[in-house]
């Protein structure tokens, strides 16, 4: 059946909302938000009592956004008979979790079906069912509930579950998935792809459109990554570029210890310590070759001896973006940086999208555990 389009939203964004697969809803404002490894949300308002009586807590909601022009990487045909294509990135399906009526209408917040994984019954994950299996399979099996489509989740991470990952015992489905994701990290080294010797490849998950579960790999240090968008302060469609320079993870003095062989090694980057102040870290390792320990300490220091950088970029709402897309930011004082999208907030009433860019914040201890 055809869906109603909210006429009160900005020109160029046709919003279609369906409640419980039958009730058409006219919304007067809509905000869409998604963050890695979390449920997407839509916040909306209606401006009449008649519309506010059409929905309540627990109702199913489907939202389509018809955008022109569209990002070519984000478009597929809708399974609903709307007569047009909709961007994947804004095809939302979920459950209304918060409902606030008022004298002139109501506001509400809905979350996608990852929220059901968070509140699931506790599952006993037994050692014989977990240990030795690829983390990809364990994650998709845990996400496989009736409301979530995992049909296309076929593949592997190449990391098998081990006892020290603490994956066994009683956990909600999302608790189990998050533990698997925390361990779905590997180190790669290839001079044809990376500038540095230690480079982390990691995995994230989301429902990026409809109810389809997506488990995807990020390889942010790979020099062959291409940006889906380039922005600078001179870009016509950019309202603001706000960097966050954070020294919380900065380490410019590392002491590596292996008590089993009674060995320790300390290295300090004097230049970094002079510029940012001394920030030391004590880490333990199972490595037994002294030359390997010293080399690893040098490589770790080279990765952590400068502040981390994040960006919040607000731009005009003309294209749709996905979590994991790479954006190149050109900044006068901070230089050029290619970073993945970690959060998206789109305000359809104001016509703006804010992209939060950054990398996974792995610690020195987390990385040294991965060194073989």
Q: Helix, strand, or coil here: 365?
A: helix
Could you tell me if residue 180 is inside a domain? no
Q: Helix, strand, or coil here: 190?
A: coil
Per-residue confidence band for 368, with pLDDT thresholds at 50, 70 and 90: confident
Beta bridge partners of 205: 215
Cis peptide before 69 (omega within 30 of 0): yes
Q: What is the pLDDT of residues 192-226, one digit of tens each?
A: 998 888 888 999 999 988 899 999 999 998 999 98
Q: State the pLDDT at residue 152.
A: 85
Q: Helix, strand, or coil here: 117?
A: helix
Last residue of a domain, one of 258, 278, 304: 304
Could you tell me if residue 285 is inside a domain? yes
Query: Distance between CA 118 and CA 136 in Å, rounded?
Result: 18
**pLDDT at residue 7 above 80?**
no
30 exposure class (CB count in 10 Å sphere: 0-12, 13-18, 19+): buried
Could you tell me if residue 140 is inside a domain? no
Q: What is the pLDDT of residues 22-33, one digit of tens each?
A: 888 999 999 999
CA dihedral 169, 171, 175, 179 (to 10 degrees): 10
Helices (H) and strands (E) in the chain, counts: 8, 24
Could you tell me if residue 177 is inside a domain? no
Q: State the pLDDT at residue 334.
A: 87
Count of structural domains within the chain: 2
Last residue of a domain, one of 111, 137, 171: 111
Last residue of a domain, one of 58, 89, 111: 111
Would you say 62 and 44 are in contact if contact means Cβ atoms under 8 Å apart?
Answer: no
Could you tell me if residue 297 is inside a domain? yes
Query: Distance between CA 37 and CA 115 in Å, rounded?
Result: 11
Q: What is the pLDDT of residues 143-167, one digit of tens each?
A: 999 999 999 888 899 999 999 999 9
Host domain of residue 77:
5-111
Per-residue confidence band for 9, with pLDDT thresholds at 50, 70 and 90: very low
Q: What is the 3-state secondary structure (H, E, C) of 225-264?
A: CCCCEEEECCCCCEEEEEEEEECCCCCCEEEEEEHHHCEE
322 or 67, higher pLDDT: 322
For every residue of 71-115, DSSP letters joined together read -GGGEEE-SSS-SSEEEGGG-EEEEEEEEEEETTEEEEEEEETHH
- Spatial CA neighbour of 320 closest among 148, 67, 114: 67
Could you tell me if residue 230 is inside a domain? no
Q: State the pLDDT at residue 87.
A: 57
Q: State the pLDDT at residue 355.
A: 96
Could you tell me if residue 169 is inside a domain? no
DSSP state of 159: -
99 exposure class (CB count in 10 Å sphere: 0-12, 13-18, 19+): middle
Angle at 164 between CA 138 and CA 131, to 5 degrees: 35
**pLDDT at residue 78 above 90?**
no
Could you tell me if residue 11 is inside a domain? yes
Length of the chain counted residue by residue:
372
Q: Mean of the pLDDT values across residues 357-365?
A: 84
> What's the CATH code of the domain at 259?
3.30.1920
Query: Distance between CA 264 and CA 257 in Å, rounded?
Result: 4
Q: What is the pLDDT of residues 294-346, one digit of tens each?
A: 998 888 888 888 888 999 999 987 777 889 999 999 988 888 999 999 999 99
Integer angstrom CA distances of residue 257 from 260, 283, 287, 334: 9, 6, 9, 35
């Amino acid at each position: 059946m055809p869906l109603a389009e909210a006429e009160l939203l900005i020109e160029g964004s046709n919003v279609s909302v369906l409640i419980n697969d039958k009730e058409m809803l006219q919304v007067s404002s809509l905000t869409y938000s998604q963050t890695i490894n979390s449920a997407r949300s839509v916040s909306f308002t209606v401006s009449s009592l008649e519309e506010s009586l059409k929905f309540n807590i627990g109702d199913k909601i489907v939202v389509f956004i018809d955008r022109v022009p569209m990002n070519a990487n984000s478009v597929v045909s809708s399974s609903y008979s709307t007569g047009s294509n909709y961007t994947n990135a804004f095809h939302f399906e979920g459950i209304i979790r918060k409902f606030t009526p008022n004298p002139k209408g109501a506001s509400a917040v809905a979350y996608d079906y990852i929220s059901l994984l968070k509140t699931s019954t506790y599952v006993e994950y037994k050692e014989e069912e977990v240990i030795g299996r690829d983390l990809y399979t364990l994650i998709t099996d845990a996400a496989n509930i009736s409301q979530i489509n995992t049909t296309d989740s076929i593949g592997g991470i190449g990391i098998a579950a081990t006892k020290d990952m603490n994956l066994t015992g009683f956990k909600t489905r999302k608790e189990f998935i998050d533990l698997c994701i925390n361990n779905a990290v590997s180190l790669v080294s290839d001079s044809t792809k990376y500038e540095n010797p230690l480079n982390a490849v990691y995995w994230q998950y989301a429902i990026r459109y409809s109810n389809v579960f997506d488990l995807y790999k990020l390889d942010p240090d790979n020099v062959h990554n291409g940006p889906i968008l380039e922005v600078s302060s001179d870009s016509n469609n950019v309202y603001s570029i706000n960097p966050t320079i954070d020294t919380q993870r900065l380490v410019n003095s590392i002491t590596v210890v292996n008590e089993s062989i009674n060995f320790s090694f300390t290295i300090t980057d004097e230049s970094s310590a002079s510029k940012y102040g001394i920030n030391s870290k004590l880490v333990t390792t199972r490595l037994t070759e002294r030359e390997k320990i010293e080399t690893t300490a040098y490589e770790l220091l080279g990765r952590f001896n400068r502040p981390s950088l994040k960006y919040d970029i607000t731009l005009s709402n003309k294209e749709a973006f996905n979590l994991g897309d790479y954006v190149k930011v050109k900044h006068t004082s901070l230089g050029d940086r290619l970073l993945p999208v970690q959060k998206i907030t789109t305000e359809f009433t104001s016509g703006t999208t804010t992209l939060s860019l950054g990398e996974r914040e792995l610690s020195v201890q987390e990385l040294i555990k991965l060194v073989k």
